[in-house]
Each structure stands twice: as C-alpha cells, then as structure tokens.
Chain A
Amino acid sequence: MTDDKDVLRDVWFGRIPTCFTLCQDEITEREAEPYYLLLPRVSYLTLVTDKVKKHFQKVMRQEDISEIWFEYEGTPLKWHYPIGLLFDLLASSSALPWNITVHFKSFPEKDLLHCPSKDVIEAHFMSCVKEADALKHKSQVINEMQKKDHKQLWMGLQNDRFDQFWAINRKLMEYPAEENGFRYIPFRIYQTTTERPFIQKLFRPVATDGQLHTLGDLLKEVCPSVVAPEDGEKKNQVMIHGIEPMLETPLQWLSEHLSYPDNFLHISIIPQPTD
C-alpha cells in the first residue's frame, strides 16, 4: 500500500461483525434465533438493519411490533451516529462479534430520535454533509452541486457503492491550491465519561505560522484533559475507525482520508483498557 486512495477504500469497506439478539422482554410466538451480520462502519444502524427487522418480526405478533431500536449493554444506540463510531465508543474493547440487543417496545424517548423512514436518515446525513462543507468551504462546494449529485452521495452510501459516492465526494475534499487546507476542520469528539454528547469547535488545519495542525494540537486545544502529559501514563485512547492515529498526524490529512461519509471526523476518546 503506497497510495492514500487505499485508505479511503479501507475506511469505506470497514465491517463490524455483529450478533443481533432479541430482548428477553419482547413477546414472541416462538424462540428468536440470533441474527449475524457484517455492518458497514460508515453507515447508520437503521439504514442497514432491514434484514434484522424482518428476521425478528417473523417470530412476533403483528400487534407487538412498533419502532425498532437497538441497545448495547444497557445503552440505547443512537441511529444517527455512524455505526463505527458507536462501536469504537462503546464496544471497542469487548470481544467480537458485537452483541446488540434488539427492542421493539418501550422506545427510550429521551435518548433516541425516532426514525420512521429512510428519508429521515437521508435528511440527517445531508444536513451533516452541508454543515461540514459550511466549515470547510463556506458551503461553496455543496451549493454548487446539483440535486442529482446530492442524491448520488446518498445513494452511494445507501447502496454501499464506494465509486459512486467518491465520484462526488472528492469534490468536497478539494481545497484551493493557494491554501494549505480547508477553512475549518469538521470534527466531533465523543467521550463516554462526560454528559456532553460531543465537542465541536472551530479549528483551522494550519496554524498562523504556516505549520500544519496535528491531531495532538486539536486535542490540546479543545479537550486538554485528554492528552497525557509528556512523561505521564497514557490514560485514553483516541480512536477513529477503530485505529489510533498518532498524535503527530496532520489534521488536514485526517479530515481528507478518515472522515466519515458525512464529512465529519468522528473521534472517540475512551479510557485506556487496563488489561
């Protein structure tokens, strides 16, 4: 592997082996077998779980079925977070496959958004893409695109078509030759240890002296408590797509290559496992 294009491919084709089990509380007509699936890291739970839904509905009575939701070790899983993020944040230290519990009743209204149809996911996805481009290019690129280009981005994600998606998305990853990067880097930092859902601030890829900002610079700026002191013990893992990039990695490069399809860098900060 020598070319950065290969990173895009690896990121796109990241899969998490998952075992779906129906919650014990659900009433079934016969026993529900667990369901095994490879979930695309870059997609959304409710977008790729039609098969799961069908599988469990077969053993349930029609009247017991309401909106499906998922839970892992007591935490309801937010469908509007990319799957890879959910896994990194909540389950990266546990054994594979990832055991997700499926629920059809007692929807946790205060934790989850409703997802009545795929249009809701599309709307959420596109609003993220637009927000990211607002940060990167003052929305210039996304606004110059045609409706069909927007549709192609979404269809690319929905049908897991890397080429189709990247044919358009590469335009969102360009920046003027005279600049050294985007205006601001679209990122979100998630921590399990805090109440706050995520941190998002304005952060430029290049410092005023022309030096490229690194992942470490970003963390020092927005959540200094996370960064271990020079000689101190490493307390946290900084994870994107299941890997821990070095803190010296330029942020601009990360944004171009390790962003999720919504064009955001979703960075998970999780306590260093003590094993």
Chain B
Amino acid sequence: MPSSELWAVDLLGRVFTLSTAGQLWELCRDAQLEFKRVSAAAPCCWGIACDNQVYVHVGASDVPIRCREEAYENQRWNPVGGFCETLLPSDRWPWSDVSGLQHRPLDGVALPSPHWEWESDWYVDENFGGEPTEKGGWTYAIDFPATYTRDKRWNSCVRRRRWTRYRRYKSRDTWAKIPSEDGPQRLPDPFSDLSVGGWEITDEPVGRLSVWAVSLQGKVWYREDVSHPNPEGSSWSLVDTPGEAVQISCGPHDLLWVSLWEGQALVREGINRNNPKGSSWSVVEPPTSENGILHVSAGVGVVWAVTKDRKVWFRRGVNSHNPCGTSWIEMVGEMMMVNVGLNDQVWGIGWADRALYFRQGVTQSELSGKTWKAIVAGRECDGSRSGSSSSLLSAGCFFGDEVRGGGESRVPSDSEAKRPGPDPERDVEVAGPASAPAELPWTNIDLKEPKKGPSHAAADFAEATNLSSLALLPLGLEEPDSADCHALWAWVSGGGCAVEAHTTLKWFTVHSGLSASMQMPSLSITPAQTAAWRKQIFQQLTERTKRELENFRHYEQAVEQSVWVKTGALQWWCDWKPHKWVDVRVALEQFTGHDGVRDSILFIYYVVHEEKKYIHVFLNEVTALVPVFSEAKHSFAVYTPERTRQRWPVRLAAATEQDMSDWLALLDLSCCESRRVHGRPSPQAIWSVTCKGDVFVSEPSPDLEAAEHWLPCDQMFWRQMGGHLRVVEANSRGVVWGIGYDRTAWVYTGGYGGGCFQGLASSTSNIYTQSDVKCVYIYENQRWNPVTGYTSRGLPTDRHMWSDATGLQECTKASTKPPSLQWTWVSDWFVDFSVPGGTDQEGWQYASDFPALYHGHKTMKDFVRRRCWTRKCKLVTSGPWLEVAPIALGDVSIIPEIPGAHGSGPGIALWAVSDKGDVLCRLGVSELNPAGSSWLHVGTDQPFASVSVGGCYQVWAVARDGSAFYRGSVSPSKPAGDCWYLIPSPPKQRLKQVSVGHTAVFALDENGNLWYRQGVTPSYPQGTSWEHVSNNVRHVSVGPLDQVWVIASKVQGSRSLSQGTVCRRTGVQPLEPKGQGWDYGIGGGWDHLSVRASATRAPRSSSQETAGERRREQGLPSGPSKVAGAPQETPNPVCC
C-alpha cells in the first residue's frame, strides 16, 4: 500500500501534509505563502493563497510532464534552385502548423507560462509512420495539401518536414501561481473557494481534472483543460448559477455541490464524460429551514454538509443517477467544515476546538461511518514538545453548543484577504445573506482564549446523543487545551488521501520523537538479518548438529516416524465423459523414508456404478499445483509430467476457500518436502505468472539448458509464491520485479509464502499485504429496426443482448460475477470508451452485423451496435512483494547476467515502460537494494509499450505504434544511453514485445509471430533484418544464455488442448540462435514467464559454447564454413 497524503491548512495559513504511513504533519515547502483554501487530488493540490491568487502544487516525480511542440517546414521545387523556401503566393507559410493554415516560425513558439522550460532545441523528426525517412526527414507530395510519402518521385513538387521540441513543466513540488487571465474575457473577481475533483469521469486526456472555483461575488467558475500534461489548465470560464454561491465541492466522480448564501445547496446535473461541466442546476433545500447550509462536501456516493448551527448532516441516496440524493440524516458532532476524500472517507474540523477529526468506520456498506476520531499527529515544527500527549489526547471531542452567540448568519469562513492574526477579536456581524460580501465575517474562533470545554456542555452532549461517539468523550475533563498546545486547523482536504479498510493509520496517538520517523517498510535489509548475533546462532546450530549427530547417524531414533494421513471430502472433475464434478473422498498419506525424506501419496476415492475405485498421485511426481479460475468453485489442478503432456490435470474443488487453502498448502508442503525444496527461491529461478495472476517459481536444474539430454520442460517443478501479478521479471542476482493488473510495480522482498501459504510454508518476515484491481467487461448489443431504431430486441439468431466479447455467453449486469471468489466488486458498471475502434459519445460501436469489425460512428450500412461496460473488482492477498511507488508500469526488464561474468558490478540495469508509455531507467538497483532508488526518464517521441535490456546493455524497445527502437550507447556509466534508433518492423507487422538475451534479440508481433534479429554484431548492434522463427507465440523471454522460452498460444495434448503453455526452444546453439523446435512444458493458463535469471550453464558443453559465443562477439559471420576453424578433437554436436 503506497502512502498518500492528507492536506490541511492551519489558522495561520500554513499548509501541512500528513502521510497515511506517517504520524507527523509536514510543513509544505514554500513557507512564505499563506493559504486560505486547499483542495487536493492524488497528483496535485490547488489552493487559494492570502494574496487571493490561485496556486497549483504538482508533486515531484521522476517522470517529467512534457509536451511536444511542432512546426512544419514547407518547401517547393523550382527548376533553378531545386527545393527551396520560395513558395508560390497561393501556398502556405514556409513555416506552419500541420494544417498549413497557421504561420508558425520556430522562434515564434513561446512557452505558455513561466512554469515551463524547454527540454532541448528544435530538431527534425525523421520518423514517418514507423519508418525512418531519407535524409533530413523530408516527406514529399505533388502539392499542398496532399498525401505525403517518404520517397521522392518525379512528380514530387513540394516537400515538408516536421520540427519538434519538448517543453517541460518545471514548477514541481512547489506552489505555482496560475497566471491571471489575460484573454479577451474579463478578469474574474478574487476567488474565495475552490475544489478539484472529477478525475474519475474520464481518462482522456490523461489526468484530467475538474477545477471549480467560487468568486467573492458568488459566481462559479470552471477551469478549462486541466490535465496531467497541462497542470495549469488554460482559462477560467463562467458557469451561470441561479443564486450566489459561497462554497463549492466537486467529488472524484460526477458530483458537484455548491452551497448558496441563502442556505440551500445547488447540485449540478448532467456531468458526464462528454460534458464535465454539466448542464443544469437543481436546488436542494437545507435540512431545516431556519438553519441553512454553510458547507457541503461531495464524494463518489455521498454528500456531507454542515449547517449554520454547526450540525453535521449526511445526505442519503446520492449517486450518479440521482446527484441530489433523497434525504438528510443528522450526524453526531459540531463541525466547522467537513471534507470527503477518496473512498468516501470523511474528515472534519471540530467547531469548538478546531481540531481535525477523521470519520472512522466508513465502508462501502456503511458510508456514514461510526465515530469521529481526533487526529493528534504532531507537527514537525513543534517536534521538540514533549509531555503534551495527555492534553493532546483529551483535547477535543467537546461537541458542546457553547458558541452560539454570533447569530445565525455568521459564516465561519476564512475568505478574507487579511489572514486571521493580530486582531482576532474583531467580530463582524453580517446584516443578512444578501449583504454585499465586500467585508466578510471573521470566524469567531478566538486565538488567545480558546473556548474552555465546560463540563456541562459535555454532559449535554452525552445526553443528547447517547450514540456511537460516546467512546470519544474524554474520560476526565482535564485542563482545557491552550492555543499553543495543539494545532488549530482552518481547512482540510482528503482528495489525495487513500484510506482503505486495511490501512492502519498512526494518526491517533502521539509518538515520541524516536519512533516518529516511522517509514513505509523498505527493502533495505533490516539490521536484524545481518546482525552478528543472528549469524552466530545459525553458525553454532550448524556446528552443533555436526558435533552431536555426524558420528552417530547409525543410532536408532527414539521416536519412530509414523504414517500420517489427512482425509477430506472434495470434488473431482472426472476423467471420462460426460465430464462433471463428482464428490470424492481424498486421503493424503505421508510417510518418512529411512533417509528422513518424506513422501506422500494422494488417493482420490470415487464411486462408479456403485463400485468403489480410486486413482492416486505420487506427490514426488507432481510438477505443479495450480489454482484454477472459476466463478463458483474453489478449484485447483494437479499436474504430473504425464498429465502435462496430456494437457489434462487432475482437477479438484473444495467447498470453501479455507478448505482449498488448507489442501493446497498441505499438498504444496508435501511436494516441496519430497523434492527438498524450501525457503526462498534461488537467484537463478525461473518465474512465471498464470492468467489468474498466481506467481510460480521453478528452480532450473543444471541440465535444463544442456545441449543434449536436457531436462524436458514438462518435468520442471513449479511451486507457488504468494502475491498477485500480471508480469514478473527476474535477474540472476536475485532482483525480481513484478507488475500487477492495476499496473502497480512490485519488488520481491526475499520472502516466500503468503497468500494461502501460511505458517510453515511462509517466511516469517518479508510478507506484506498486496492488493490488485482489474476490470470485468461485458457488452450491450442492439439491433436497428426501421420503426424504433436501435433497440435491445435482436433477431432470433442474434447473440444475447447482454454478452461477453464473443457474444456466445450471456452476461448481464446482474448475473456477471467477479472472476473468482477472491475478488470483490469495488465500483459500479460504467461504459468503457477506450475500446479499439473508437466509440461515439455514448460509447456505442457500430457494425453491419454481429460479429464484425466495429467502428465508432454510425453509417448507413450499420444495423447493429454494441458498447462495452466495465466494472472494477479488487483482490487483497499477501506475498513477498513491496510496492515500488508511485509510478505505475506497463513493462519492466532487468539485465540478464551470467554470475561471475561481469563480477558483481555497481548497479543492475533495469528498464521499464510506465503505464503512460514513458521509458524509464531505474537507478541504484543492487542485490541489497532491489527496489533501486529513483527513475531516470528517457525521452521518447511517442508512447512505448515494451522494453528489454540485454546482457551487454543493449536496450531494445517497442513503441505503441508497433515500431522497434534501439537505444544507443547505454553503459554502466551512462545508464540511459544517448539516442533512439528506429528499427523498421517486419513487413506489415506491428511488434508488441521485444526480449534481448546475452546477444540474441527476439521480437513478437501482434499476430503471434516470433522474429529473430539477424546480423547483430558489436559494431552494428541494431542488426540487419528480422527473420521469422515461429507463429503461435504469446510472450517471449530470452535468457542470459540466449535460451529462448515462450508462452505458446495453443498446444495440443493427447487428451485436450491448452492455451498459454510454457515452451522452450530446442536446438538453440551459438551458431544456430534461432533453434529448431519446441519442447512443451506446463500449461495452459500461463500468461507470463521470465527465464532471464536462469544462467546455470550445463557443465559439459560450456567450453564449446563460450568458444562459439566469443566468435560471435567478435563479429565473425556465423556459418558452417567457419566451424572448420573450431577445435575438432572432440566431435561435439554443439558445433554442427
């Protein structure tokens, strides 16, 4: 769980952040600015400072925010000077934008604000649709505007080329002033409130935010074009309101509530993906007519409000379809303000004490939560204070009604240009809600004499509300806090603060200075693991065993080992037709051999035609125990080499999750014990992931990569590690990284077990909670008829009107379940607009008939349409993984090394592609710090999809448009290299993945073809051409010995077909790097594999291999003629 931050402003206008993992408020840098309001989102925070200007604070990140500026240089051919800048009078500008309509000289392109800087100078883009152009990046055409080609023809009269330059947002981790309006629109009057939200409405553009503000005159403004690449937005636009607004709140999704001077609330209707500003307002009356609404705060499915009598209210029944909700419920407590953050969690500032409260117990099923709990985290600026914990703990919780004197219309808002400070007693009465807000009321908090907590108030409160928050009442009314005793808060924003059920917060107790700097668990090895005492115990135990046992092994054991049996009832997917689940009794018999090794047999007793029969499995033959995807059953598959070849495992199902975990853990333990495998996997282990997200590890035996008599891959033993991943990549120095379905990056901690492997099957330390989120998709299908247009009434032959992607299965919103019982829904169904082919505004895709190619706009020939609905589900498990925050990844690659070949060099090269397509290089990765320290961003001209770093620092990558790139000059001293070289893809193919071994380069295209890069030499590392190796490949991993392993799409066994099978390329030799055939291993249902740590060379042929390799490294052409030069004394098939 990565940490996130709560933002708050104290009465002096200082902005603080509190990490979910920390227990100290940290003062936001830029202390010279004082703030009135802040509103946070995950990547940034907006605020209004006391100078009435709006500021945005974008957090620091290793990935820069960069934007491409481009300009086109246009030229026309004339017989005298050839191509030159002299154009015809009717032509476009010599320097223009892409359309040619706008004049765009290079020196006329300016930075949009002082917060940007140029990354480099202008340069010519030589990439034209994935193909490198001839010199200078020119593309040719007959005339402007026309279709441009990269080849110059006899009739090419004009040419153009694109100049590009990147600008970079530089004001990160600091408050950047939003430039005042200088457009034609008149300047908005100063803002008094502001709210950011709406990031869940749409992902386009990336990081889009809705930023809303209220001006002193009560007008509502919307900031246009705020997104990740444009954090400042472009301009303010006015949104008309039926009344004068005082305060505004925008939820993460489509809720927008405004409180009015008159005490009602306005609710924005019609906010959606196509119209994030919404279309109309509705009015919601306050809970009671005498006390109007002072403050509102909206979440995803909740709205909280504070009325003028400081009471807190919860709005019931709020959601996207009914943004107004149904009714108010009064909550316990008196608050200044409340703020709803991520996951509908709520924070508030107490009315009487100005302390900060967190609403505990807010869950999806109980959105109103249980109690207010005071946050008593210390502040770094008053860290020296000690002994105040007792008063801190008792401070607050007096929701007494002692401060009523100010009159009903007093508005506790800090919206005044002058900050509260020297003259806090000034207490301005406002005549009425309609009075001009030129002089706003002070909050009536008294800095010098905070309200005493009179005992009667507490008693009143206890009587009035004998409800849930009683526990919060202080036990004894100790001395009331004084102003300098705890922070007095003015504003809080939880929009960037993710608190979930399993988050443990340390905010509620005061810690001494020693433990206050508690951090997230980090991967640096803890002192306990390296301490001398620990080493000494391990060493002495070994010596003791030697001393006391070595010469006495022939002695009889005092306790005889008995046979131990565990029995139970499971279901078994029977081996013959009709295949179905049948109830069986199972028994696991364990016995101990004379050598102390345990062995076990699993018996499955079934009844057929009233005759009792059984099948059995020797656990020392089992090669994998694999949990299987099933919506309804807790099932797993048991593989042996024979069953792997048949593609027909023994499938068993348990009645409960616990039952299955118990069996799986026990069988796993027995398998591991009979193979003497336990503890953490070796650094050279082969890692893989199934389509269910389960992680499997196999120890490579020395003969696995032997040239002959290799170990067939169906005999490899795979054991499960805890955790849930989509991608896992390893390196032979024990560095392993994973990527979850939600693209979170994880690093292996060196533990084992977790998930369902508890107790003995799990390591004591290095196991952490891990969560993952994925989407489930269903399709809504409609057919057109001439009377009613598109309806959900199809032809009798049509697919289900609600179906899966293929249309074969009926999938309705109600009947579709999460993929397995481990997953729970965490969102409602929403339309997915990011489907290939594009959609219209409502998400529909059109086609002439089912099934067909769908496109995003309706034409005359389209008679059917469909749209994709998505729902998110979440899984929480545990495993030896720690999150590498904060950048989400799409792909990762670690340098494949041969132990000892390079020595243990300084750092381990690790490259990744972020979820946004940025290429990144991790710095500081080593055995002791596998997570590394920071990302180095490697600039690209387009988003990338896949990256791979080879054993000699050759970095290859594939862009999202399917073209390949080689990164030049990467070395340990220059970890990011210098520039990209475009490598044309195989003809008519779009590449999707690349894997580089020691020297071999393999790439995979979108049609499942595997390609080998021919002609790669040290002097020409880009190689010359792609050679086809095989089809039917889903994923490729090339190891440090240039061994080639893949996940094959389909493999036919003797009994059934499996999809997603681990395969090894056979016959791969230095002189035949493409290999000859396939050896089939475990599957199906495998998704990902990494052999990049497996550097165990077969002992016999190693000298030959190195000889061959050396030859190739010298750049000698590889061919049979050269083999004659190799030593012939030992006729070894390796060479031939």
Q: Are A37 and B532 in contact (CB under 8 A)?
A: no
Q: Are A7 and B558 in contact (CB under 8 A)?
A: no
A147 beta carbon closer than 8 Å to chain B: no
B548 beta carbon closer than 8 Å to chain A: yes
B326 beta carbon closer than 8 Å to chain A: no
* Listed stretches B157-165, B538-546, B922-930; interface member: B538-546
A76 beta carbon closer than 8 Å to chain B: no
Kindly list chain A residues whose C-beta atoms are within 8 Å of the C-beta of B557. Answer: 15, 37-38, 160
With contacts A96-B552, A246-B536 known, is A4 near B558, CB below 8 A? no
Cα(A223)–Cα(B793), bound, Å: 88
Q: Are A159 and B548 in contact (CB under 8 A)?
A: no
Cα(A54)–Cα(B750), bound, Å: 49
Cα(A258)–Cα(B533), bound, Å: 13
A210 beta carbon closer than 8 Å to chain B: yes
Kindly list chain A residues whose C-beta atoms are within 8 Å of the C-beta of B556. Answer: 36-38, 51
B156 beta carbon closer than 8 Å to chain A: no
Name the contact of A2 in the complex, choosing from B537, B544, B562, B750 (C-beta under 8 A): B750
Cα(A3)–Cα(B534), bound, Å: 10
B1124 beta carbon closer than 8 Å to chain A: no
B1004 beta carbon closer than 8 Å to chain A: no
A197 beta carbon closer than 8 Å to chain B: no
0/1 string, A248-275, CB within 8 A of B gives 1: 1110010001100000000000000000
Q: Are A16 and B548 in contact (CB under 8 A)?
A: yes
* Listed stretches A21-29, A110-118, A161-169; interface member: A161-169
Q: Are A166 and B760 in contact (CB under 8 A)?
A: yes
A244 beta carbon closer than 8 Å to chain B: yes
Q: Are B559 and A246 in contact (CB under 8 A)?
A: no
Name the contact of A10 in the complex, choosing from B545, B559, B562, B751 (C-beta under 8 A): B545
Please, which residue of chain A has its CB at the minimum distance from the CB of B752? A3
A132 beta carbon closer than 8 Å to chain B: no
Cα(A51)–Cα(B558), bound, Å: 8
Q: Are A7 and B760 in contact (CB under 8 A)?
A: no
Q: Are A37 and B548 in contact (CB under 8 A)?
A: no
Q: Are B548 and A14 in contact (CB under 8 A)?
A: yes
Cα(A260)–Cα(B861), bound, Å: 81
With contacts A40-B559, A51-B558, A243-B537 known, is A2 near B548, CB below 8 A? no
B-contacting residues, A156-201, CB 8 Å: 158-164, 166-167, 170, 177
The minimal Cβ–Cβ distance linking B510 to chain A, given in whole angstroms, is 14
Number of residues of chain B lying within 8 A (CB) of chain A? 43
Cα(A186)–Cα(B564), bound, Å: 32
Q: Are B679 and A4 in contact (CB under 8 A)?
A: no
Cα(A40)–Cα(B551), bound, Å: 16
B104 beta carbon closer than 8 Å to chain A: no
Q: Are A3 and B764 in contact (CB under 8 A)?
A: yes
Please, which residue of chain B has its CB at the minimum distance from the CB of A211? B514
Cα(A209)–Cα(B513), bound, Å: 11
Cα(A248)–Cα(B536), bound, Å: 11
Q: Are B533 and A43 in contact (CB under 8 A)?
A: no
B531 beta carbon closer than 8 Å to chain A: yes
The minimal Cβ–Cβ distance linking A145 to chain B, given in whole angstroms, is 15
Most central of A5, A49, A210 by chain B CB within 10 Å: A5
A97 beta carbon closer than 8 Å to chain B: yes
Cα(A246)–Cα(B531), bound, Å: 11
The minimal Cβ–Cβ distance linking A111 to chain B, given in whole angstroms, is 23
A238 beta carbon closer than 8 Å to chain B: no
Please, which residue of chain A has its CB at the minimum distance from the CB of B543? A243
Q: Are B544 and A97 in contact (CB under 8 A)?
A: no
Q: Are B555 and A36 in contact (CB under 8 A)?
A: yes
Kindly list chain A residues whose C-beta atoms are within 8 Å of the C-beta of B544. Answer: 10, 14, 241-243
The minimal Cβ–Cβ distance linking B754 to chain A, given in whole angstroms, is 13
Kindly list chain B residues whose C-beta atoms are within 8 Å of the C-beta of A36. Answer: 552, 555-556
Name the contact of B538 in the complex, choosing from A7, A14, A48, A163 (C-beta under 8 A): A7
Cα(A96)–Cα(B512), bound, Å: 53
Please, which residue of chain A has its CB at the minimum distance from the CB of B665? A167
Please, which residue of chain A has its CB at the minimum distance from the CB of B514? A210
Number of residues of chain A lying within 8 A (CB) of chain B? 50
B386 beta carbon closer than 8 Å to chain A: no
Q: Are A242 and B760 in contact (CB under 8 A)?
A: no
Cα(A26)–Cα(B823), bound, Å: 71
B187 beta carbon closer than 8 Å to chain A: no
Q: Are A243 and B562 in contact (CB under 8 A)?
A: no
The minimal Cβ–Cβ distance linking A181 to chain B, given in whole angstroms, is 13
The minimal Cβ–Cβ distance linking A158 to chain B, given in whole angstroms, is 8
B147 beta carbon closer than 8 Å to chain A: no
Kindly list chain B residues whose C-beta atoms are within 8 Å of the C-beta of A3. Answer: 679-680, 751-752, 763-764
B120 beta carbon closer than 8 Å to chain A: no
B765 beta carbon closer than 8 Å to chain A: yes
Name the contact of A5 in the complex, choosing from B547, B551, B760 (C-beta under 8 A): B760
A17 beta carbon closer than 8 Å to chain B: yes
B759 beta carbon closer than 8 Å to chain A: yes
Q: Are B515 and A210 in contact (CB under 8 A)?
A: yes
B31 beta carbon closer than 8 Å to chain A: no
B504 beta carbon closer than 8 Å to chain A: yes
With contacts A7-B541, A250-B528 known, is A2 near B679, CB below 8 A? yes
A6 beta carbon closer than 8 Å to chain B: yes
The minimal Cβ–Cβ distance linking A98 to chain B, given in whole angstroms, is 9
Most central of B552, B564, B680 by chain A CB within 10 Å: B552
With contacts A241-B544, A243-B541 known, is A38 near B552, CB below 8 A? yes
The minimal Cβ–Cβ distance linking A174 to chain B, given in whole angstroms, is 10
B352 beta carbon closer than 8 Å to chain A: no
With contacts A17-B548, A243-B541 known, is A40 near B558, CB below 8 A? yes
Cα(A46)–Cα(B622), bound, Å: 40
Cα(A49)–Cα(B558), bound, Å: 7
A1 beta carbon closer than 8 Å to chain B: yes
Name the contact of A6 in the complex, choosing from B555, B669, B679 (C-beta under 8 A): B679
Cα(A48)–Cα(B537), bound, Å: 27
Q: Are A4 and B564 in contact (CB under 8 A)?
A: no
Please, which residue of chain B has its CB at the minimum distance from the CB of A244? B540
Kindly list chain A residues whose C-beta atoms are within 8 Å of the C-beta of B531. Answer: 248
Kindly list chain A residues whose C-beta atoms are within 8 Å of the C-beta of B545. Answer: 10, 13-14
Instruction: Give B residues with C-beta under 8 Å from A.
Output: 504, 512, 514-515, 528-529, 531-534, 536-538, 540-545, 547-549, 551-552, 555-559, 561-562, 564, 669, 679-680, 750-752, 759-760, 763-765
Interface pairs A-B: 7 shortest CB-CB = A17-B552, A243-B540, A48-B558, A160-B559, A249-B533, A246-B533, A10-B541
Extra pairs beyond A3-B679, A37-B557, A96-B552 (11, CB < 8 Å): A2-B529, A3-B752, A5-B760, A6-B679, A7-B537, A17-B551, A38-B552, A38-B556, A160-B557, A242-B548, A243-B543
Cβ contacts A to B, 15 pairs, < 8 Å: A4-B765, A10-B542, A15-B552, A37-B555, A38-B558, A39-B558, A48-B559, A96-B548, A159-B559, A163-B669, A167-B760, A243-B543, A243-B544, A246-B533, A250-B528
